[in-house]
Structures are given as structure tokens and as C-alpha cells.
Amino acid sequence: MSTNDGFIAMPDGVRLFFEKLGTGSTTLVILNGVFYVDDFRYLSSHHTLVSLDLRNRGRSDLLNDPSKLKRGIHQDVDDLENVRQYLGLSRIHLLAHSYTGMTAILYALKYPSHVDRIVQIGPIPPDATKQYPPDLANFDETLREFFGKAQELEKQRQSEAPVEFCKKFWSILRVIYVANPSDADKIKWERCDLQTELNSMKYWLEYLAPSIQGVKLTASDLTAVNSPVLTVHGRKDRSAPYGGARDWATILPNARLLTIDGAAHAPWIEAPEQVLGPIQTFLGGSWPAAAEKVSPRTGSERL
């Protein structure tokens, strides 16, 4: 397998890290790939994979200049376009988890001619401020326990070395990302060895979250998004409500929803047999059999 990596300089001088695997004729860009590329490496047998660390994340440059951070998710969209141009690609597939599920759609909205297919996994809702009823949002006892433990841990921040604090935080955080607590140790996203990730919560609270909360997408906003979109979502997701996935599948012009009943925010880790094959099928040009069309009138044609 062919592998290479390096940095791509943005117009403002910020460098984004990328890793390129495989030599397939189509290219799949994995957003924030520092966390996920190993899990999706199997796709390199059919596609060239580009694992991209977004601005101020992963192995990309650590930033302190507010002028280079203030646009948040909108800057990520433009950075992705600069990456596409650097790689000399006319069209790309996108695979995006959590908040980057919105990044992928915003990119397809702004640059529709450059996107083939999009896989969203556990995406935040089209309107991140929307409140969902209990059957479409999993605010359970596990989440309540996490918030309590996080408050107690925060009291130790000043007395703990940053790396040790990071490790302790992730020891309680990873539990909320899975439905079955026995799967928690499979979540290996902490990357406490990277300064960007040690500072990621500050970046999230000051820049990314506010930029995301200002986005409120509707069906009329998304008519230009002509790419097929597969939204994969665990019904027990605590981090991104399942109702948001249903909204994406409803308002996007060409989208289907793959629901994973026994999973939370990491469905490909919790139920790989239900997720990995269908993603490969979708990127190959076909809808997975279990993917559903969703409409606001009936909820789902297969209900």
C-alpha cells in the first residue's frame, strides 16, 4: 500500500497535516482523520484515502492567533477546498464524524461541483440548538454521571500536569460514546500527546461551538447539495441526538439514514458488521439495503 504524509499550507500560512494511503482512482477525505483513519483503512483497497487534520486539530499547527480561529467551522470549509486544490482533485468523497458531519454538508453546499458522495457518522443536527424529545435524544443516567464526574475532575485541573489531566478526562469521557460500557476501551481518540488536542476544549468553546450554533440549515437552504449522503447514526447517541440524523435525511435532497439500534456515538466501533460493509457499498455507488429514505410526513417509508 502506498503511503505518504506531510503538511499543506493554507493562504494565511497555517499548515494542515495530511496522510495519504492507497492508490485508488477515487479519493476519500476523512475529516479529523488522526482519530479515525485506522478504523477506515480497509477502504484503501478501493479508494485513495486522505486523512486530514483540520485547523488547530491533530497534527496540524497549534494556533493562538484569534484571527486564524474566529471563523470556526466556516474556516474548515474553506481549508478543505484549499486541500482539494492542492491535491489536484476535481471531485472527492467525504467521510465525517460528529461535528464534521456538518462541515461536510457546508462544503457540499458551497462547492457542490467538487463532491461525489458523503458519509456522515453521528453528525450534529442541521440546527445544533434544536431540542429533541426523549425518544430522539439519549440524555440518560450515563450522561448525568459523566457531567458529575467532569465537574469533580475540573477541580484538579490546576494541580495536574496537562497530559495526566487529559488522560483522566478521557477515562470518563469515552464511556458516553458507547452504548455498552464494555466497548468504552475501544475508543482511542484522546491523543493527549498532541498540544492541539490538549487545548481542543478551549478551541471548541471559544470558536467552533459558537460558529456551529449560528448555522440553522433548512431544506430550502440545501437544494444545491446534489451529492448522495449516507447518514449513519446510533439510536442511543448521547453526543449528537438521533433526531438530528433524521432531520439531515429529511432535508437533504438525496440522503438516506442507516440507523444502528444498539449503538451510540461510535457505531462503526460498536457494530462494525452493520456499518463498515454498508459504507463500502455506498462509496461504491449503491445505497446499502438497510438505508432508509426519511420524510417529514411519515417519518420513514419503512416504518
Quote the pLDDT of residue 174.
97
Residue of 51, 296, 98, 95 lying closest to 204 (CA atoms): 98
- When pLDDT is averaged across residues 238-257 and rounded to a whole number, the result is 97
Give me the sign of the Cα torsion angle 292, 119, 73, 254.
negative
Which of the four pLDDT bands, split at 50, 70 and 90, describes residue 296? confident
State what percent of residues in the chain have pLDDT above 90: 94
283, pLDDT greater than 60: yes
In the structure grid, which three cell numbers stand for residue 151, read together?
465537574
Quote the pLDDT of residue 3.
55
Q: How many CB atoms lie within 10 A of CB 196?
A: 21
Q: Regarding the domain delimited by 3-283, which CATH topology (the fold level of the hierarchy) does it fall under?
A: Rossmann fold (3.40.50)
299, pLDDT greater than 60: no
Mean pLDDT score of the chain, rounded to an integer? Answer: 95
Quote the pLDDT of residue 300.
41
Quote the pLDDT of residue 303.
30
What's the full length of the chain, in residues?
303
At 23-80, the pLDDT tens digits run 899 999 999 999 999 999 999 999 999 999 999 999 999 999 999 999 999 999 999 9
Count CA atoms within 13 Å of residue 82 on its CB side.
20
Count CA atoms within 13 Å of residue 49 on its CB side.
27
Give me the sign of the Cα torsion angle 231, 236, 240, 246.
positive
- When pLDDT is averaged across residues 191-216 and rounded to a whole number, the result is 96
- When pLDDT is averaged across residues 190-202 and rounded to a whole number, the result is 95
Q: Are 178 and 188 in contact (CB under 8 A)?
A: no
Location of C-alpha cell 471559544: 206
Cα separation, 44 vs 19, in Å, equals 12
At 100-149, the pLDDT tens digits run 999 999 999 999 999 999 999 999 999 999 999 999 999 999 999 999 99
Domain boundaries, the chain: 3-283
Which of left, alpha, beta for 54 (phi over 0: left; psi -120 to 50: alpha)?
A: beta
Q: Model pTM?
A: 0.94
